[in-house]
Amino acid sequence: MSDLKTVWHKMLLNQFHDVLPGSSIEKVHVEVKEIYQKDIIPSLTLLQDDLLRRIVNKHSEKHNIESSCLVFNSLAWERREVVNVPLSSSQTHSSHDKTDELKSAQKLSNGDVI
């Protein structure tokens, strides 16, 4: 969590009143862009990867699955798109909603699951 706090402080530092509307001098814009590219974006990418890995591991442990494909909606709203997941004939499938209730999934004749 301290990594997130550090990144958050860097972001706040680079969101002062002259940067947001673009009214600061060019040197400031160059420095802010450099901080985002070298510090903030890589740090956020590592944090995101770590959090997604934790979600997959928790799901796999809870459902006693060694390997799985997890379709995860990271948005704040529900989505209704169809997700097509190719599976081999030996793989099983299950579908769970955000409350972890088992939901229906359809296995197609080619082995894919939607």
CB contact at 8 A, 18 and 29: no
Identify the bridge partners of residue 95 per DSSP, sorted by sequence position: 103
Using the predicted structure, report yes or no on whether residue 54 has a pLDDT greater than 70: yes
Beta strands in the chain (DSSP E): 95-96, 102-103
Using the predicted structure, report yes or no on whether residue 1 has a pLDDT greater than 60: no
95-96 vs 102-103, strand pairing mode: antiparallel
Task: Round to the nearest angstrom and report the end-to-end CA distance of the chain.
Answer: 36
**Regarding predicted confidence, which is higher, 47 or 84?**
47
pTM above 0.85, yes or no: no
